[in-house]
Amino acid sequence: MHALVATVVHHPEDARILHRQIRALLDAGHRVTYMAPFADRGVTPWQEVTPVNVPRAAGRRRLASLRAARAALARHAPEADVLLFHDPELLLALPSRRPATVWDVHEDAAAALLTKPWMPRPLRRPLGPVVRGFERRAEQRMHLLLAEEGYRDRFARQHPVVPNTTYVPERIERAPGTDRVVYLGHLSSARGAYELVEVGRLLRPHGVRVEIIGAADPGIRPMLRDAHREEAVEWYGFVPNDQALRMISGALAGICLLQDTPNYRSSLPTKIVEYMAHGLPVVTTPNPAAVSLVTGRPEGECGAVVPFGDAAAAADAVLRLRSDAGMRERFSATGHAVARAAYHWPVQAEVFVRQLEEWAGVAAPSRLPRQIRAGLGGTAEPAPAPAGGAAAPEAAGQDTAEAAAPGARHGTGPAKRMPL
């Protein structure tokens, strides 16, 4: 099967798109053409994919990117067996001649508009019904994959769900330490960026540092740079997912301080699953999906829930973990066991690949490929970093505004896909 995978919004090394879905397709023996903003993000594509570079769609600057995407899709889509795209914006760029088409729905787009800093406030709520209308028309014209069970209610038809899970090691590599807390993921006001920095300031006198691994919205970056200079936090900027997961190993806790917004109420934060997968106790705000995972499982608790917007409560939860080794070990073991049993990506990888094969009308291989079989057996984990490490974002030519994380020691260099 030849899959054309397309995004103009997401980072080319997005964890779901590249490290899970494209990797699963390649491991299954399929061919992938990948359309993404490689140059604008300073990323060298994996050697196993056929890259198609397009401009990045960011903020209010989207028209040129959509024009380029439409031209690229018109050129490459007729050669593919299936087109898998990841941005609602690309609904406006789909060519008339195209193969079986799949929209991978990552978020509640209408709800997300409420927190987009580039969207004028007077337009945010009125545009919600317009987005919903696009969604209803889309499901009549193409296949949909949903990243969350909670997205089902937005659509009239039933669509398969491929959850945003992760690779879970068979064992916890490093027990939780006592001197650092980690945040993994994109930073915005709605994702708790200001609270994270305040937690860093509160923990610093106690000898605990907050490490932030992820890119940030433009309006948040100056605040994060200042906090880094003050040593309130250590901000690394964007780091490819496989490297970032190695960086969080051995931390005292993984933190997730999402605010109470509609887009997050029905979504399970993938970062929480990633923390659990690597044996990190979790500190989270009380979004329903997070609460059910962290404190509502029959296996037991794997972290602490703190009120929305309460940095002091989050810092206190971290200090309680540091002072109680038994609690750390219990949360670590429970979280890892739950993640391994219910959120191990290779299980979903098989479902994902088989679904695309079915829609493309391609016969499935007679047996699972070696990499997926190994993952089900417990050895498939994020690929090791390229020898010698990766270049900092500035050196790799990444967009300077996004590359300005002062602590970006693990930035985006050549994205080589290493053997499992």
Q: Give residue 36's domain range.
A: 2-163+344-377
Residue 169 lies in a domain: no
Residue 170 lies in a domain: no
110 shares a domain with 208? no
Q: Is 180 helix (H, G, I), strand (E, B) or coil?
A: strand
- What is the mean predicted confidence (pLDDT) over 384-396? 34
Residue 389 lies in a domain: no
For the ranges 24-33, 264-273, 364-373, 401-410, the maximum mean pLDDT occurs at 24-33
Look at residue 306 and tell me whether its pLDDT is greater than 90: yes
149 shares a domain with 13? yes
83 shares a domain with 37? yes
Residues 6+ apart with CB under 8 A from 298: none
Output the pLDDT for position 362. 79
pLDDT tens-digit series, residues 192-205: 999 999 999 999 99
Output the pLDDT for position 401. 34
- Per the CB < 8 A criterion, the answer to whether 308 and 204 are in contact is no
Rounded Cα–Cα distance for residues 32 and 29 (Å): 10
- The more confidently predicted of residues 264 and 408 is 264
Query: Under the phi-then-psi rule, with left for phi > 0, alpha for psi from -120 to 50, and beta for the rest, what region is 275?
Result: alpha
- The more confidently predicted of residues 165 and 402 is 165
Residue 399 lies in a domain: no
CATH number for the domain that contains residue 93: 3.40.50.2000
272 shares a domain with 249? yes
- Per the CB < 8 A criterion, the answer to whether 368 and 160 are in contact is no
Residue 232 lies in a domain: yes
Residue 308 lies in a domain: yes
- What is the mean predicted confidence (pLDDT) over 375-395? 37
Confidence of residue 220 (pLDDT cuts 50, 70, 90): very high
Q: Is 377 helix (H, G, I), strand (E, B) or coil?
A: helix
Output the pLDDT for position 106. 82
pTM of the model: 0.78
218 shares a domain with 83? no
- The identity of residue 371, as a single letter, is Q
Residue 413 lies in a domain: no
User: Of the residues 342, 368, 395, which one is the last residue of a structural domain?
Assistant: 342
Count of positions (residues) in the chain: 420
